[in-house]
A and B are shown apart, each in its own frame.
Chain A
Amino acid sequence: MKIDKGVVEYVAHLGRLALEPNEVELYTSQLNRILEYMDSLNTLDTEGVESTSHAVPVTCVLREDLAKDSFSVEESILNAPEKIGSSFKVPPIIEVEE
């Protein structure tokens, strides 16, 4: 599968990364090389093989519904780059047309 600069830019946007034009170039060529290597998987027939997302099978891990102390507000917002009162502050959300 060959990907072009448009795909690279779309993927960067999905991952909320702003790429410089030279980075777009670089990633396009590097990603194509890497993906070409990944394509080796397509030579393998996996019809009927169940997907594995866990290395060690464990099921039904549950905890009881018992409340424990939360953090103090101070601890919760200790690392906030910006805050107002006990809330995190973020820039305004201006939804820009894609």
Chain B
Amino acid sequence: MEDILELTIAQIRELLQKRKISSVELTNYFLERIKRFDGDISSYIKVTEEYALKMAGDADKKIADGENGQLLGIPLGIKDIYCTKGIETTCASRILKGFIPPYDATIIRRLKDEGYVHLGRLNMDEFAMGSSTETSYFGITRNPWDLERIPGGSSGGSAAAVAADECIASIGSDTGGSIRQPAALCGVVGMKPTYGRVSRFGLIAFASSLDQIGPFTKDVEDCAIMMNAIAGYDPRESTSVPLNVPDYTEFISRGIGGWKVGIPKEYFIEGIHPDIEKAMQRAITTVEGLGATCVEISLPHTEYCLAVYYIIAPAEASSNLARYDGVKYGFRPQGSIDLLDMYKKTRSAGFGAEVKRRIMIGTYALSSGYYDAYYKKASQVRALIKRDFTEAFTLCDAILTPTSPTPAFKIGEKMDDPLQMYLSDIFTISTNLAGIPGISVPCGFTKDGLPIGAQFLAGHFEEGKLIQIASAFEKYANIEKRRPAL
């Protein structure tokens, strides 16, 4: 059974269909692995064993009946940010402790329709606010490649669980890099689709105009399979886009001969870890070896992205998080003398430091007298950032950048310096501001054996192109296969 951990969704699906293995066996295998290894890593907030085995049993029946859902019988880990009917959903916050959603997020419905198995709830930064999975109320998650280091964030649990083979694939969310950065730091594939491609209904909102859902997988083909399952229009979301979804697996092995790949000069800055810089040089060579031409491009407003992001995201968050007031659900401390007291006690004790910090920044940026200087200004610069990409994609088919300026850093290293922590997202946030899709694929290791990720970006709704270039890159780059030593 040990070789199961080598297998991808594509391969396991075949075994399931040929009845070489049952979904229950598979699920038990992962439940065992979680028991053995997750004590050190803590990628899961909660393992839903009974629920998982029931779903696996149902899947086995469906397989026996000849059904063939895209994820039928496949055990997945779910970031604890999607409302799941009957399953405690916390967003890694004390304020939602005990909250049992009475409804399913659209993404959960879609996964159910495809027959997935819900292994458990993956850890994350509280309300997805962080780059290291250190702000969770339920404790930190460790990087399987080095337990002294962070797995990235906010979807750190989702990345670590795939890296440690505690699930075949997982689902995360990305507001400023929360899928791609931990995917890079944990050596797995992570995609943030175009804004509007995957329904946000039931995704607990951090920053509504930036949030997007995407998969973590072992390879690019699995990413395509997951995207096939989750992408598509949802009438329950006004910002969902009613466009047909292609079969993403068709973009595998198409090659990129004749493509132009843009290398934005603003992304190769001082401060990038030297091993990452070297890996990027190799990546450029690999891309050219595939018959593409790399061209230098400019995204002139890159230096403003971080400032824009850290105004818009907290502003939206300050409003999105106003509903956690102790009235309708979640945490409420005892002994409030009046309503105002109850509000303040609930929110002060219910939210962690980083969430409070962002509520403060966002509230300030929207408050009377400062709106124009901050929120309005940021929204205007956002338009310029978007335009940069539109112009860039007239010159190239895709863009290649590092995913993160550094490999996984030490636990606690940046916790006292919010701005340093925010800089971890410097290469990923522009994507969210522009709404375009991005993918992070493994592109080597540092001297110390930490994974490095390369990021490809494409125009709106061109996830197919990303699958195409990332899968070609994955095959041709021939990155050494390693597993974290657990």
B positions within 8 Å CB-CB of A:
98-100, 102, 194-196, 209-210, 235, 238-239, 241, 301, 303-304, 306-308, 310-311, 318, 322, 325-332, 336-345, 347-348, 351, 356-357, 359-361, 363-364, 367, 370, 373-374, 376-384, 386, 418-419, 422, 432-436, 460
Contact = CB atoms under 8 A, between A and B. Distances in A.
A78 B196 contact: no
A93 B102 CA distance: 29
A16 B325 contact: yes
A52 to B, nearest CB: 4
Interface string A79-98: 11110000010111110100
A18 B348 contact: yes
Contact of A41 (B330, B357, B381): B381
A57 to B, nearest CB: 9
A19 B307 CA distance: 25
Given A40-B304, A46-B381, A75-B102, A34 B348 contact: no
Contacts of B325: 16
Contact of B235 (A51, A63, A82): A63
Interface in A2-39: 3, 7-8, 11-12, 14-19, 23, 27, 30-31, 33-35, 37-38
A88 B342 CA distance: 14
A71 B100 CA distance: 15
Contacts of B433: 55
Contacts of B311: 38, 41
B169 to A, nearest CB: 26
Interface in A51-80: 51-56, 58, 61, 63, 71, 75-76, 78-80
B374 A17 contact: no
A79 to B, nearest CB: 3
11 contacts: A16-B344, A16-B347, A23-B356, A37-B306, A49-B380, A54-B435, A56-B241, A61-B238, A80-B329, A88-B328, A90-B327
Contacts of B307: 37-38, 40-41
B238 A38 contact: no
Contact of B339 (A15, A75, A79, A92): A92
Nearest to B435: A55
B310 to A, nearest CB: 7
Given A31-B364, A38-B307, A91 B383 contact: no
